[in-house]
Amino acid sequence: MQAAGRQFRSPRYTVCRLLIENISPLKIISTLDLIAATSGCYCTRESAQIAVLDIIHGPQANAHPSLTMKVSAPLLTAALASVATADNPIIQTIYSTDPAPLVHNGRVYLYTGHDEPGSTTFVMKDWRVFSSVDMVNWQDHGSPMSLATFSWADANAWAGQTIQRNGKFYWYASMRRRNGAMAVGVGVSDSPTGPFRDALGRPLVENWGIDPTVWIDDDGQAYMYWGNPGLWYVKLNPDMVSYSGDINTVTLTTTGFGTRSGNAERPTTYEEGSWIYKRTGKYYMVFAASCCSEHIGYSTGPGPTGPWTYGGVVMPTQGSSFTNHPGVIDYQGSSYFFYHNGALPGGGGYTRSVCVEPFTYGANGSIPVINMSKDGAPQVGNLNPYVRQEAETIAWESGVQTEPCSEGGMNVLSINNGDYIKVKGVAFGSGAKSFTARVSSATSGGKIEVRLNSTGGTLVGTCNVPGTGGWQTWTNVNCAVGGATGTRDLFFRFTGAGGELFRFNWWQFSQIAGLGLYCYRGSLTAVSSSLRGSVAKTVFADEQ
């Protein structure tokens, strides 16, 4: 066994050459094809008993001059199980509130508030971001914006919404000024996951109103609505951080927003938490209605400023939270309604949790009555276990939390004996052979049990996690896997003795025993351990 010392370097792609010896021709072919398919790389091969493998990674990988074979299609799964659905609430590591979904580049980004645990009033200090491609497994991106982002604010990190324009992301959120007044500020970022910075150094608007919602119309004009007890709007300028003209007051009528009984001072059902959007030529204003407890209602209009006509109840008063807050999107050909309730343990009006339901518009564009459920939305596609997946991508969990990771992004912490993470709809295809996890431990570590379908389901592998000398001192652990085939729900069950066991950054399966391909800070690394010494190992340079 030997590794060739030659490496190609180019700003257009990354390439590393491996020399594979003492392996059958059929094994060479199947190994290289599988590496190409599972990594999205391009491979070359030559000769029978000796194969040269160029793993070429990057947007122009196919421009490599020595390319003799191109395999660009992703690995196709051989079997499909029944469609998985989301577990509501979709976030369990924290109490999350006031959902504001955004579809961007084929992914749903979910911006939320954050209720502090054990609260008996609204204690909210930061905002959070999650994302998903399949509507059931949600990745935690942490807190890219907080009260500390805004030097003029001191409390009440309440509801907001993020929108993209001019290559930037603008997060409009309500918070309390240091003088005690509620105001709307604007955070801005180059990325949907932040970090966000204060775009103005002062509020955008300040009239005690809350819960901003933003829409950019087809002609490019942007509108921001907000308010409780009133409803106001401004026309935003193209810079998205200033507005033209005056603050406009919406005249709330029973024709436009429904009739509230028993409150002469507030005759319409409109309360707060508006969400504006346009669909098939019709403008929608969805809002939290009546109080308290709130239900969700909606109105429609021919233009972005109305006139509005009340459409009815979207979600009745349900759940154990006396507030609710809507967010509505279309994604991958389906429509989704986001809301919050108090369904998690310890949940209630001040400890809320975000949920999602699928729905179908009526033929005339009407929104049906949507009831809260535990099942949530069906999975869109499947999750690929043969590419790196973040440990904080979770469908359901028990006991764990998340924190910022020294290697970037987030990692899972607070892992104790018996805790687990569930990942839904994992497409193993013809079968996984090995599993790699990136872990750390300031104690003696523990074990990761890899199970299918439930915490007590089929055990397909066990990885031993050693002590690494620190909670942010990371290493990779590998273990063999057998019996992981088809499309299954995946459970990582954690075991060990004595308090917090270890922390968990990311994971990946391989269909070659002991061979895993994974990305690490822009590098693609080939790792081999059990092809009987047949495969050499080397690491890519950090070319992008």
What SS3 string covers 257-282?
HCECCCCCCCCECEEEEEEEEEECCE
Q: What is the pLDDT of residues 198-254, one digit of tens each?
A: 999 999 999 999 999 999 999 999 999 999 999 999 999 999 999 999 999 999 999
Question: Percent of the chain beyond pLDDT 90?
Answer: 76
- The CA–CA distances, whole Å, from 459 to 372, 447, 495, 533 equal 34, 13, 13, 27
Task: Please state the separation of Cα 164 from the chain's center in Å.
Answer: 17
Q: What is the pLDDT of residues 288-320, one digit of tens each?
A: 999 989 999 999 999 999 999 999 999 999 999
DSSP-derived secondary structure letter, 231: -
Backbone angles phi, psi at 139, to 5 degrees: -90, 135
Q: What is the mean pLDDT of residues 514-536?
A: 39
Judge contact between 396 and 109, C-beta under 8 A: no
| Residue 457 burial (CB count, 10 A) | 15
Tokens standing for residue 308: 């509005």
Judge contact between 184 and 206, C-beta under 8 A: yes
Please determine, for residue 279, whether its predicted confidence score (pLDDT) is greater than 70: yes
DSSP H helical ranges for 11-119: 25-39
H/E segment holding residue 256? helix 254-257
Please determine, for residue 78, whether its predicted confidence score (pLDDT) is greater than 70: no
Q: What is the mean pLDDT of residues 23-46?
A: 40
Measured distance CA(333)–CA(321) in Å, rounded = 31
Measured distance CA(304)–CA(101) in Å, rounded = 20
Sequence-distant (6+) residues with CB within 8 A of 361 are 279, 335, 367, 368
Q: What is the mean pLDDT of residues 477-496?
A: 97
Please determine, for residue 178, whether its predicted confidence score (pLDDT) is greater than 60: yes
Measured distance CA(42)–CA(35) in Å, rounded = 9
What sign does the dihedral 463-505-97-168 (CA atoms) show?
negative
* Mean pLDDT of the residues in the chain: 84
Instruction: Tally DSSP H helices, then E strands, for the chain.
Output: 2, 38
Residues 176-201 as b/e (b if ≥16 CB within 10 A, e otherwise) read bbeeeebbbbbbbbeebbbebebbee
Please determine, for residue 471, whether its predicted confidence score (pLDDT) is greater than 80: yes
Q: How confident is the model at residue 132 (pLDDT cuts 50, 70, 90)?
A: very high
Tokens standing for residue 26: 């059929």
366: three-class secondary structure by DSSP? coil
Sequence-distant (6+) residues with CB within 8 A of 364 are none
Q: Are strands 458-465 and 446-452 parallel, antiparallel or unpaired?
A: antiparallel
Measured distance CA(5)–CA(542) in Å, rounded = 16
Choice among 87, 198, 211, 271 that is catalytic = 271
Residue 101 pairs in a beta bridge with: 110
Residue 506 pairs in a beta bridge with: 390, 438
Tokens standing for residue 295: 């239900």
Judge contact between 198 and 185, C-beta under 8 A: yes
Question: Percent of the chain beyond pLDDT 70?
Answer: 79
- What's residue 83's pLDDT? 58
Task: Please state the separation of Cα 133 from the chain's center in Å.
Answer: 8
Task: Please state the separation of Cα 231 from the chain's center in Å.
Answer: 31
What sign does the dihedral 355-356-357-362 (CA atoms) show?
positive
- What's residue 179's pLDDT? 85
- What's residue 514's pLDDT? 58
- What's residue 205's pLDDT? 97
Catalytic residue list contains 98: yes
Judge contact between 517 and 525, C-beta under 8 A: yes
Residue 426 pairs in a beta bridge with: 383, 488
Residue for token pair 């659905």: 85
Backbone angles phi, psi at 247, to 5 degrees: -75, 125
Choice among 54, 98, 134, 543 that is catalytic = 98
Catalytic residue list contains 271: yes
Closest CA to 377 of 95, 84, 99: 84
Please determine, for residue 89, whether its predicted confidence score (pLDDT) is greater than 80: yes
Please determine, for residue 32, whether its predicted confidence score (pLDDT) is greater than 60: no
Closest CA to 173 of 302, 364, 325: 325
Closest CA to 447 of 470, 465, 421, 435: 465
Measured distance CA(303)–CA(281) in Å, rounded = 9
- The CA–CA distances, whole Å, from 265 to 273, 281, 301, 505 equal 19, 34, 25, 53
338 or 517, higher pLDDT: 338
